[in-house]
Copies of this chain bind each other. A is one copy, B any other.
Amino acid sequence: MPIKEGDYVLIVGDGVRSVIKVARGSRISTIRGVINADDIINQEYGTLIKTNLGYDLAVLRPLITDILLERADRVTQVIYPKDAAQIIINAGIGPGSRVAEAGVGSGFMTAMLAYYVRPNGRVYGYDKREDAISIARKNLEMLGLLDWVELKLRDVISDGFLERDLDAVILDMGDPWNAIPRATEALRFDGVLVVYVPTVNQVIKVLRAMSDYGYVDVRMFDVMVREWKTEPDEVRPQTWVNAHTGYILIGRRTLRPIAQPTK
């Protein structure tokens, strides 16, 4: 497939890793030298191009995670792909799922959800911060994923979700225990609740609320992805690793009456 003007491309090689929007006549600067955008337009994706300093860099279609990590704007702490991956698979979210998320923050998780519920599912993204909604919209547009998302400026704790019978609700906010009653009424019976929190103080409150509201099959886990150096003669883990982002809590709603907590 040929590289076209306006494409986002991933440039990689010799320590270079960045996502660039191709603009005719422009120069692409990297730490390994410069490439002329005109020299890659109409080339095949996968091509290797020499910089003015003599380095071979590859030009690739970026994956969704490449764009999120290298190019998307951030307004808040984001849910990283490693955690998004475990949330999506462990909540059974896939093509066709109807999912709500509060709050959307910078829209990273929203984007991953949109990517995986395509083409016939839907993501309802809530946030009470206007700047979050705005950044998330921008990121989703860049990724071409806005068609599968409805963004809503709304406080779910006070005002609730507008949907019912959802397959999953994901809470990524400071005090998610306060949103659990509202999430519960938005979920289908046996729907999946996912909560993402960074501290163990929050974990304790979430577990109490999940128990109070009758959730079953409750699991909690944290995910560590250990990156390695890939030089064949010196294979070893990277020295520094992101060892903590957040805890993931997952449970299933039941038919227990939700008007009042079970205890």
Supposing A94-B115, A115-B94, A200-B204 touch, asked if A240 and B237 sit within 8 A by C-beta, the answer is no
Which of A46, A203, A223, A253 has the most CB atoms of chain B within a 10 A radius of its CB?
A: A46
The interface bits of chain A over 193-204 (1 if a CB of B lies within 8 angstroms of the residue's CB, else 0) are 000001111011
Stretch from A22-30, A78-86, A123-131, A133-141 at the B interface: A78-86
**A254 and B90: CB pair below 8 A?**
no
Inter-chain contacts of A153 with B (CB < 8 A): none
Inter-chain contacts of A235 with B (CB < 8 A): 199-201, 203-204, 207, 220
- How far is B116's CA from A53's CA once the two chains are assembled, in angstroms? 42
**A208 and B228: CB pair below 8 A?**
no
- How far is B116's CA from A45's CA once the two chains are assembled, in angstroms? 24
Stretch from A55-63, A98-106, A155-163 at the B interface: A55-63
In the complex, which of the residues B64, B201, B238 contacts A92, with contact meaning CB atoms closer than 8 Å?
A: B64
Inter-chain contacts of A239 with B (CB < 8 A): 242-245
Report the nearest B residue to A46, measured CB to CB.
B189
- How far is B255's CA from A116's CA once the two chains are assembled, in angstroms? 29
- How far is B227's CA from A86's CA once the two chains are assembled, in angstroms? 12
In the complex, which of the residues B190, B245, B256 contacts A60, with contact meaning CB atoms closer than 8 Å?
A: B190
Inter-chain contacts of A238 with B (CB < 8 A): 243-244
Inter-chain contacts of A92 with B (CB < 8 A): 63-65
- How far is B59's CA from A252's CA once the two chains are assembled, in angstroms? 10
**B95 and A119: CB pair below 8 A?**
yes
**B232 and A221: CB pair below 8 A?**
no
**A219 and B224: CB pair below 8 A?**
no
**B94 and A89: CB pair below 8 A?**
no
In the complex, which of the residues B90, B201, B247 contacts A81, with contact meaning CB atoms closer than 8 Å?
A: B90
Inter-chain contacts of A94 with B (CB < 8 A): 64, 115-116, 118
Asked if A112 lies at the interface with its beta carbon under 8 angstroms from chain B, I say yes
**A221 and B227: CB pair below 8 A?**
yes
**B58 and A252: CB pair below 8 A?**
yes
Inter-chain contacts of A201 with B (CB < 8 A): 204, 233-235
Asked if A41 lies at the interface with its beta carbon under 8 angstroms from chain B, I say no
**B118 and A216: CB pair below 8 A?**
no
Known: A221-B228, A224-B224, A228-B247. 6 other contacts (CB 8 A): A47-B255, A61-B190, A200-B203, A204-B235, A207-B232, A220-B229
